[in-house]
Chain A
Amino acid sequence: MADAAIRTASQVLELPAPLPLDGGQSLSGVRAAYETYGTLNPDKSNAVIIFHALTGDQCVASPHPITGKPGWWVRMVGPGKPIDTDRLFVICANVLGGCYGSTGPASLAPDGQPYAMRFPVITIRDMVRAQVALLDALGIEQLHAVIGGSMGGMQALSFAANWPERTRAALVIASTARHSAQNIAFHEVGRQAIMADPKWKGGDYYGAKGPDNGLAVARMAAHITYLSEEGMHEKFGRKLQDRDAKTFGFDADFQVESYLRHQGLSFTDRFDANSYLYITRAMDYFDLAEEVSGGEGSGRLADAFRASKARFCLISFDTDWLYPTIESRTIAHALNAAGAPVSFVELSAPFGHDSFLLDVPALDRVIAGFLAQ
Chain B
Amino acid sequence: MTALRPDLAVIAANVAPGSRVLDIGCGDGQLMAELRDRSGIDARGMELDPHGVADCVAKGLSVMQGDADTDLADYPDAAFDYAILSQTLQTTKRPDLVLDELLRVGRKAFVSFPNFAHWKVRASLLWNGRMPVTRLLPIAWYETPNIHHVTVRDFRELVVAKGYGIEGEWFLSGDKYIGPAAAAWRAEHAVFLLSR
Contacts and interface: CB of A to CB of B under 8 A. Distances in A.
B50 A343 contact: no
Contacts of B57: 313, 343, 345, 366, 369-370
Contacts of B59: 369
Contacts of B61: 343
A345 B62 contact: no
Interface stretch (A34-42, A115-123, A329-337): A329-337
A370 B64 CA distance: 14
B92 to A, nearest CB: 20
Nearest to A363: B54
A345 B54 contact: yes
B60 interface: yes
B147 interface: no
A341 interface: yes
B74 A336 contact: yes
A346 B57 CA distance: 13
B75 interface: yes
Nearest to A313: B57
A326 interface: no
Contacts of B51: 362
B48 to A, nearest CB: 10
A343 B64 contact: yes
B65 interface: yes
Given A336-B75, A337-B76, A346-B50, A311 B58 contact: no
A149 B130 CA distance: 52
Interface in A213-238: none
Contacts of B89: none
Contact of A365 (B44, B54, B64, B74): B54
B74 A343 contact: no
A351 to B, nearest CB: 16
Contact of B74 (A311, A333, A368, A370): A333
A348 B62 contact: no
B85 interface: no
B194 interface: no
Which of B54, B56, B61, B76 neighbours the largest number of chain A CB atoms within 10 Å of its CB?
B54
Interface string A86-120: 00000000000000000000000000000000000
Contacts of A185: none
A344 B47 CA distance: 10
A358 interface: no
Nearest to A370: B57
Interface in B25-68: 44, 50-51, 53-54, 56-66
A365 B53 contact: no
Contacts of B50: 345-348, 362
Contact size range, A? 20 to 34
A341 B21 CA distance: 12
A342 interface: yes
Interface string A305-339: 00000010100000000000000000011001100
B87 to A, nearest CB: 21
Contacts of A311: 62
Nearest to B74: A333
Nearest to B79: A336
A373 interface: yes
A137 interface: no
A372 interface: yes
A365 B64 CA distance: 16
A343 B62 contact: yes
B54 A369 contact: yes
A171 to B, nearest CB: 10
Nearest to B20: A339
Contacts of A347: 50
Nearest to A318: B50
Task: Give the one of A345, A365, A372 with max B CB within 10 A.
Answer: A345
B58 A344 contact: no
Given A333-B74, A345-B50, A368 B64 contact: no
Interface string A347-371: 1100000000000001001101110
Contacts of A337: 76
Nearest to B22: A336
B64 A332 contact: yes
Contacts of B74: 333, 336
Contact of A366 (B54, B75, B76): B54
B100 to A, nearest CB: 20
A345 B58 contact: no
10 contacts: A332-B64, A342-B64, A343-B57, A343-B61, A343-B63, A348-B50, A362-B54, A365-B58, A368-B58, A369-B54
Given A366-B54, A372-B60, 17 more contacts: A311-B62, A337-B76, A342-B62, A342-B64, A343-B56, A343-B61, A343-B63, A344-B53, A345-B50, A345-B57, A345-B65, A348-B50, A366-B53, A368-B58, A369-B60, A370-B57, A370-B58
Q: 10 tightest A-B contacts by CB?
A: A369-B58, A345-B53, A373-B60, A341-B62, A369-B57, A345-B65, A344-B64, A343-B57, A365-B54, A333-B74
